Structure 1
Amino acid sequence: MIEVAAGPGAGEVEDLAASDLLASIRLERAAENTAAARQLVLAAQWADLHPPESIHSAAAFTVPGCEHEEPIAGDGTPLVAEFCIAELGTVLGISTTAAKKLIGHALELRHRLPRLWDQVHAGRVPAWRARSVAETTIHTNPVLTREAAGFVDAQVAAVAGRIGPAQLDRLVAETIKRYDLAVADPTADPEDGYLSVDPRHVTVHDDDVHFAGTMRIEAEVDLADALDLDRAVAHDAATQKALGSQLSLDARRAKALGNLARTQTALDLHASGATGPADTDGLPPAREMVIHAHFDATLSGDTTVFGPTGRMENGQRLVLLEQIQAWCGDTHTSVTIKPVIDLNTPLTAQGYDIPDRIREQIILRDRTCVFPNCSRPARGCDIDHVVPWDEHADAEGRPQPGPTTTSNLAALCRFHHRLKTHSGWRYEASAPGVFEWTAPHGYRYRRDHTGTTELDPPDPPGIPRPRRR
């Protein structure tokens, strides 16, 4: 393990000469890499303390569109109890999914990529580079055996700290290709084009939404498909310019991609016999917008120096009112205005079941799962009774401890709903839409529409906390 001296404090930086400033920056980066490497060790040790039988079933990644789940690390790594991951995530201020990746990468490196693990702790390879290799070896299709991972480790570890990220990705992919080819046919030519890792993908980065209402799309497609797409986008951009568009070429090309998507969606709806209002082309609207209007902007606190704003439910991002107006004004857009629901009005139902009006109020109020740092949209969450409903209370003549009322309801995604029900996590509603969580080891967090705030941490063993006056 590398020992790194602390750099100067913030108040001392202004007095540094250029050479001293560079030296300080170098020290800080070394300290950052050392801390990241140490964090991998601690994450692996946390996993060691929590085998599945200790708390709950083994943690896994759900695969979209598939009926199976992938383990958090590859073959030969120990399984980890799924409920221990959330507590690690909250301490680090990250989501449960991000904490699951951290533990998975740590176990993959320690057990299946030991040479790379040693390089990280010798300070020769930054932790983030090693984690990118681990991410690939964990989720490669077909699954890498332990022997295959060891082959990748032997080829990659020595150079991982001396090449760029893109070159490292290519090296890992090429190493996997050569191993699979050698196993399938030891006499085959490794340059015959066989590739076990198909690089094609289309990724919409919906977790990185710009304030202006834009989103990044990344794709790797077949060469012929790429050329066809380029021609279609160029043609649409030229058409826009001929019709008088004053946008830049890049903006017109971006808009052309959206036009292609909306046109195809409309064609699909038209071919399937969809009915409804048609646009000027005789096709049904391809974009649907549901608008929830609130007269008092202070309800959500979404005020900015740029003027009136709205919030996208699928993305949980603020967008400017003028951007919403532009979306609504498109001829391929169908707009639905929902009745206003006052988020401050308490609503109550007599039984356990949650009526649609109360469910909608909770979804609009909470926006996401209310577990610390969770960002799953509330519309796909369960609506949980914070204080559980007692089905025997009425029969025994006791007041209902967990009524179906706004102040006792919260949106929880299915995982965190199970976590709350079957583990040591507890929470309470201190106000409508404000929840205070307590972790099994005593850490406490407040979650509201502004995000997650850590409250006073628990006292270290044997060290009483000074009493406040």
Structure 2
Amino acid sequence: MIEIDSTHQPLVVEDLDADWLLALCEDTATESRRLERKRLRLALHWARMHPADPDDAAKGHVETVGGPGTPAVEEWSTESLAAALGITTHAGLQLVSDALDLAYRLPRLWARVEALEVPGWRARRIAQATCGLSAADAAAVDALLAPKADRCGVRAIDQAIAEATGVVEQTEQETLDRTKWDVELLHGPMVGPGRWAGTSTMVITGDTLDLTGFYDLINTEATRIETDDPIGVRRAMAVGNLARRMGGDQPPRVRLYVHADLADLLDDTIGTGSVERLGPLTMARIKDWASRSQVTVLPVLRMARDDAVDQHDPPAWMRELVILRDRHCVHPHCQTHARACDLDHTIPWPLGPTTPTNLAPLCRRHHRAKTRRRWHYQREPDGSYTWTGPHQRRYRVDQNGTTPLPPA
């Protein structure tokens, strides 16, 4: 295994002693800071290259991605940057926002990032924590945190923000905090990279008194569950018990799209099924969920069906077919689930028919970007999509992800 050190000399890692290895680790940390700084510099310059046009600003066609005091950016300009970096549009917007906040609202901190004294990830965390503050409060945080930003943690960041905003009336602060209240349900790998185990995470942000009371209720219910499971597991089980009681002990209505061989459905000791939004699960888990829920069996769709209808909006079966076929927004790197997307005619209706092969799921943002003619795409015979951005960068999107293509 060969690595390159800061003097550009190749080194065989297996031959290094402890001192050399630690020196290479230090080089790596510095190189990481340099790469993070580069991404922020590129994002900042991109934003400056695409300022909001005054006429568009008057119409509201701009993107205010940074905090107060940062310049507005031309609408739809971030998609090209994000695609080139191989990240989602949301991640690209966050990168631009952080870069603008650092340059315009946190200049002392930005200077230390430029000098490679503070890692970009730490500076970005501070930028995101202060994005909702006024320019004056952000400057106060900058003065407090910049000298120690290379070593401060989350608690120090929160404390600096509290000190800087101490003059804000408590009621105003409470109103600001309330805008962040939410309940999120997150599905995804919980056991390890790429693994799905039928487990999800719920994150609740709300009134302290309400959540404390709810937590006490969960603990009380957990103590009544007679199992040998740890208390944490019993708390999670208690949430299910409470939810069922709140629903009048009626089984929840759940829609699962299961793809499995008939043999697997008949014998839950073998095989797995693929469940939409949840990934692969054992048939035993799927049957367990079905036994505790109201189950509606939907007709099987023939995925090769390509009937046309003489109308703009697709019928329910056609929408379902396109959602199951493409699964998510087909814009480069976008992973918005198809059920949250619009169905777009790849060849605009009525020039193009309303058929499955002429429909594609696009999230609202990327649908608008395409409609405003900043991006163009077409569906290929193999079911993939070829996109061309406003700077003539091309991308192929298929079930395996996004691949950059050479210029046409």
Q: 1:176 to 1:419 in 2, by over 3 A?
A: same
8 A contact 2:340–2:363 mirrored in 1: yes
1:432 Cα deviation from its structure 2 partner: 5.7
Which amino acid in the other structure matches residue 257 of structure 2? H
Cα distance in 2, alignment partners of residues 78 and 106 from structure 1: 11
Structure 1 distance, partners of 2:121, 2:253, is: 40
What SS does the corresponding residue of 2:380 show, helix, strand or coil?
strand
Shift of residue 217, structure 1, vs aligned partner: 3.7
Q: Kindly indicate whether residue 154 of structure 2 is the aligned counterpart of residue 134 of structure 1.
A: no
1:97 aligns with 2:120: no
Structure 1 segment 355-394 matched on structure 2, within 5 A: 355-389=315-349, 391=350
In the other structure, the counterpart of 1:328 is 290
Shift of 1:233: 2.4
Residue 349 of structure 1 aligns with which residue? Answer: 309
2:213 is aligned to 228
Partner of 2:47: 47
> Which of 57, 60, 73 lines up with 1:80 in the alignment?
73
Residues 316-465 of structure 1 mapped to structure 2, 5 A cutoff: 317-330=279-292, 333-389=293-349, 391=350, 400=351, 402-431=352-381, 433-456=383-406, 458=407
- Cα displacement (A) at 1:319: 3.8
Q: Tell me by how many angstroms 1:411 deviates.
A: 0.5
Unaligned runs of 5+ in 2: 191-195, 263-269
Equivalent residue for 2:136, pick from 127, 144, 147: 147
Q: Does 1:291 align with 2:271?
A: no
Superposition deviation, residue 449 in structure 1: 2.3
Residue matched to 2:146: 157
Q: Confirm or deny: 8 A CA contact 2:65 2:96 kept in the other structure.
A: yes
Aligned length in residues: 386
Percent pairwise identity: 35
Aligned residues of 1:6 and 1:28 also touching (Cα < 8 A): no
For 2:308, the aligned partner's letter is: T
State the SS of the aligned residue for 1:370.
coil
Q: Contact between 1:105 and 1:135, CA under 8 Å: does it hold in 2? A: yes
Query: Offset of 1:236 from its aligned partner?
Result: 2.4
Cα deviation per residue 1:300-350 (whole Å; 9 max; x = unaligned)? Answer: xxxxxx94132333xx644443332232222xx222222111223323223
Q: Residue 36 of structure 2: SS of its match in structure 1?
A: helix
Task: Label 1:328 to 1:6 Cα distance change in 2 as closer, same or farther (>3 A).
Answer: farther
Give the Å deviation of 1:34: 1.2
TM-score, normalization by structure 1: 0.74
Q: Secondary structure at the match of 1:342?
A: coil
Residues 354, 201 of structure 1: CA spacing in aligned structure 2 closer, same or farther, 3 A cutoff? closer
| Residues 130-168 of structure 1, C-alpha deviations (whole Å, 9 max, x = no match) | 1112112223xxxx322222112111111121222x223
Q: Contact 1:7/1:24 (CA < 8 Å) preserved in 2?
A: no
| C-alpha distance in structure 2 between counterparts of 1:115 and 1:207, whole Å | 39
Kindly indicate whether the alpha-carbon contact (under 8 Å) linking 1:54 and 1:81 is maintained by their aligned counterparts in 2: no
The answer as to whether partners of 1:177 and 1:197 remain within 8 angstroms in 2 is no
Letter of the 1:159 partner, please give it: K
Superposition RMSD in Å:
3.0
Secondary structure of the residue aligned to 2:184 is strand
Alignment of 1:293-312 (within 5 A): 293-294=258-259, 307-312=271-276
Q: Is the 8 A contact 2:326 2:338 kept in 1?
A: yes
SS at match of 1:410: strand
* 8 Å contact from structure 1 (residues 209, 216) kept in 2: no
Distance in structure 2 (CA, Å) of the matches to 1:124 and 1:203: 37
Partner residue in 1 for 2:168: 180
Structure 1 residue aligned with 2:6: 5
Question: How far does residue 228 in structure 1 lie from its aligned partner after superposition?
Answer: 3.3
How far does residue 220 in structure 1 lie from its aligned partner after superposition? Answer: 5.9
Equivalent AA in structure 2 for residue 247 of structure 1: D
| Distance change (3 Å), C-alpha of 1:450 and 1:20 | same
Contact 1:406 1:432 in 2 (8 A): no
Aligned to 1:252: 234
What secondary structure, in the 3-state scheme, does the structure 2 residue paired with 1:204 have?
strand
Given that 2:385 and 2:396 are in contact with CA atoms closer than 8 Å, whether structure 1 keeps it comes out as: yes
Work out whether residues 160 and 168 of structure 1, in 8 Å CA contact, stay in contact via their aligned partners in 2: no
1:118 partner SS: helix
Secondary structure of the residue that 1:404 maps to in structure 2?
coil
Q: Equivalent residue for 1:462?
A: none
Q: Distance in 1 between matches of 2:201 and 2:29?
A: 28
3-state secondary structure, aligned to 1:52: coil
Structure 1 pair 329/7, CA: closer, same or farther in 2 (3 Å)? farther
- Between 1:376-385 and 1:440-449, the stretch displaced more is 440-449
Instruction: Give the C-alpha shift of residue 31 in structure 1.
Output: 0.7
State the SS of the aligned residue for 1:411: strand
Residues 427-453 of structure 1 deviation map (CA, whole Å, 9 limit, x = unaligned) = 111136421112222222221223222
Deviates more, 1:436-445 or 1:406-415: 436-445
CA contact (8 A) 2:258 2:274 kept: no
Distance 1:202 1:418, change over 3 A: closer
Partner amino acid, structure 1, of 2:158: R
* CA distance, structure 2, for counterparts of residue 18 and residue 133 of structure 1: 34
Deviation at residue 408 of structure 1 after TM alignment: 1.5
CA positional deviation for 1:44: 0.9
Unpaired stretches in structure 1, ≥5 consecutive residues: 61-70, 185-193, 268-282, 298-305, 392-399, 460-469
Superposition TM-score, scaled by structure 2 size: 0.84
2:245 to 258, 263, 284: 263
Whether contact under 8 Å (1:205, 1:215) holds in the other structure is: yes
Paired residue type of 2:186: D
